[in-house]
Amino acid sequence: MSPYVAHVTVMLKPLVNDPAGLAVRDGLSALGFDGVEAVRVGKRLVVTLSAPDAEEAARLVNAMCDQLLANPVIEDFVVEIVDGASDTTAAAPPS
């Protein structure tokens, strides 16, 4: 088993209302950033896992997203798998 790191980006689907994005847009406007037309707010997760290969790591993380990390009804997600030994943004294990 090799260490892998999955960078998961979860965003609301384009047609889903994004109140946090609206609040950020309005805040930027209040600060004088008048050219901002839209903001979408999402989340980024970094998952460190062991798997026999990158394909299996991707399969496992996609299953995690389908079952817990994202709400498939209102959110889309993108998974990027990197070699855990070379990734400097890996999630630190609990102490």
CA distance 4 to 46: 10
Domain borders along the chain are 2-83
Q: pLDDT grade, residue 87 (50/70/90)? A: low
Distance CA 67, CA 64 (A): 5
Long-range contacts, stretch 68-72, CB < 8 angstroms, 24+ apart: 69/8, 69/10, 69/45, 70/8, 70/10
Alpha-carbon distance of 85 to 54, in angstroms, equals: 13
Task: Provide the whole-model pTM.
Answer: 0.83
Superfamily, domain 2-83: Phosphoribosylformylglycinamidine synthase subunit PurS (3.30.1280.10)
Ramachandran category for residue 32: left, alpha or beta (phi over 0 → left; psi -120 to 50 → alpha): left
Tokens for 86, please give them. 């070379």
Indicate whether 88 pLDDT > 90.
Answer: no
The pLDDT tens digits for 20-71 are 999 999 999 999 999 999 999 999 999 999 999 999 999 999 999 999 999 9
**Neighbour-count burial of 31, counting CB atoms closer than 10 A to its CB (0-12 exposed, 13-18 middle, 19+ buried):** exposed
